[in-house]
Structure 1
Amino acid sequence: MLRDDVNPETVILAVAKAIEATFDRSSWLELALLTNTRDVVLSHHRLLRSMDWGDPDYFGNIAEVVPQMLGEGRQRRGRTSARTSFPNFKIVEDFLDLPNWLRRSVPDLYAKLYGGPVPVDALQAAATELGITDVDEHAARIRRGLHDDPAQAIGSAKELLETVLKSILGLHGTGRETRLDIPELLKKANVQLGLDPAGVRARDPGAEQRRKALGALSQLVVSTAELRNAGFGTGHGVSQRPELDVATARLVVAAATAAATFYLEAHAADDD
């Protein structure tokens, strides 16, 4: 989610860098059509030509066009956030897959635009290591929904944790044996990984403190499931869904992703 305090010029810089690195003529025209700026792109006296010829002023030409593609001018910047200054930002962000591109290519800019993200990066790394592919889809939905659709973020967070725990437990398909709620899945995962009071790791240094921390985290995770089941998250048919504030959504989503990351990493360590 784009930070509320990000400088609009930083947004322009990030978008321009992503375009410079990834665009061809077709990409320019497609995004121009999506943002209703075809005339802006085609009428610029140097933009596409400088791209075709690899001219050194190509980036500068991009920077001249990007604000209009983002929608600047339809709303005055003033003291508003970049999100409200640029009504087309979401279209451009999705087209460029901007968060993922910045994270891989320009981490410093990623931090300026999306600082303090939900901790899904370590989660995705741990899931990839174990060959769990569904996690990326859940993480992407969480990122997209956290600000614009907290209910979607909470529903996806619960699904994320269920996916991770069931994968660790080897539960696949839709049979009766897989229909376990979050508390039962957590309990079974603790037993399998030796994290329960009677487990093989019960005498490890810090085991008691780890159990307390894990217990507190588990309570937050269970609350995530309960919020979703109460109608605050997607997944059940609710005609008039209650609204949840973004701050609380961040809390429960962060708890779910932290727990998922912990169990994936504990599972990986258990297999070593």
Structure 2
Amino acid sequence: MEKLTDPSGILAELERVSRTIADDPAAAIGSAKQLIEATAKTVLRERGIAFDEHTKVPALVKQVQKALHLDASSVTPGPDGTDAVKKILGGVASIAVGVAELRNRGYGTGHGQASAPSNLGIRHAQLAANAAITWCQLMLDTLGDPAAPWKKTAIATQTQGPRPAVAP
């Protein structure tokens, strides 16, 4: 995270998750969703990719994973030659979206509820927090990896320069 231009949004949400996880599971779940949003927006900003501040988490997750060439539908088989990595990338996208859905269904802060959610415990907050951290860590690790596929594509585009127009 030390190479990010401004990691303050991510750090604020990480701190909020850890501070609330034991005493306020709903706040931890809300903060876990916000951690995913903060990480997604930071990655897009670092890549110089425009985004709408009001984009919903599923679309942000998809946009970021495509920007980093981690979209399960477009990656080639993994280092073992199988689709295992593709399955993991699809799963990690699903857990990020699942955190947002949990929060949006009234188990996290951010939407006023007429009744407090029942059966919400520390284990649910830990699940949401760990899921969010897993997704965020993968995005940040890939953003900073000098051998990441998105960097190879970006370097190739920069070195090739603009293509000359072809006469009809």
| Correspondence 1:160 to 2:29 | no
Give the C-alpha shift of residue 183 in structure 1.
1.4
Contact in 1 for aligned 2:99/2:128 (Cα 8 Å): yes
| Correspondence 1:233 to 2:108 | yes
How many residues of Structure 1 are paired with residues of Structure 2 in the alignment? 142
Aligned residue for 1:249, secondary structure, equals helix
| Correspondence 1:253 to 2:113 | no
Structure with bigger RCO (C-alpha 8 Å, 6+ apart)? 2
Q: State the partner residue of 2:25.
A: 150
Q: State the partner residue of 1:40.
A: none
The RMSD of aligned alpha carbons is 2.4
Distance 2:62 2:77 in 1: 19
Distance 1:246 1:204 in 2: 35
Q: How does 1:88-103 map to 2 (within 5 A)?
A: none
Aligned partner of 2:76 among 202, 206, 214:
202
> What TM-score do the two structures reach when normalised by structure 2?
0.74
Give the C-alpha shift of residue 161 in structure 1.
0.6
Aligned partner of 2:140 among 237, 249, 264:
264
Cα displacement string for residues 157-185 of structure 1 (whole angstroms, at most 9, x for unaligned residues): 100110111111129xxx98222111111
Aligned residue for 2:112, secondary structure, equals coil
Distance 1:155 1:234 in 2: 5
Q: After TM superposition, which residue ranges in structure 1, 4 or more long, deviate above 6 angstroms?
A: none
Q: 1:144 to 1:198 in 2, by over 3 A?
A: closer
Structure 2 unaligned segments of length 5 or more: list them.
153-168
Q: 1:196 to 1:252 in 2, by over 3 A?
A: same
Distance 1:257 1:233 in 2: 16
Q: State the partner residue of 1:221.
A: 96
Structure 1 unaligned segments of length 5 or more: list them.
1-126
Give the C-alpha shift of residue 146 in structure 1.
0.5
Cα displacement string for residues 197-222 of structure 1 (whole angstroms, at most 9, x for unaligned residues): 564x5255247322211222222221
Q: 1:227 to 1:169 in 2, by over 3 A?
A: same
Q: Name the amino acid aligned to 1:216.
A: G
Q: Name the amino acid aligned to 1:262.
A: L
Q: Name the amino acid aligned to 2:3.
A: E
Cα displacement string for residues 239-262 of structure 1 (whole angstroms, at most 9, x for unaligned residues): 322031111221121000110011
Larger radius of gyration between Structure 1 and Structure 2: 1
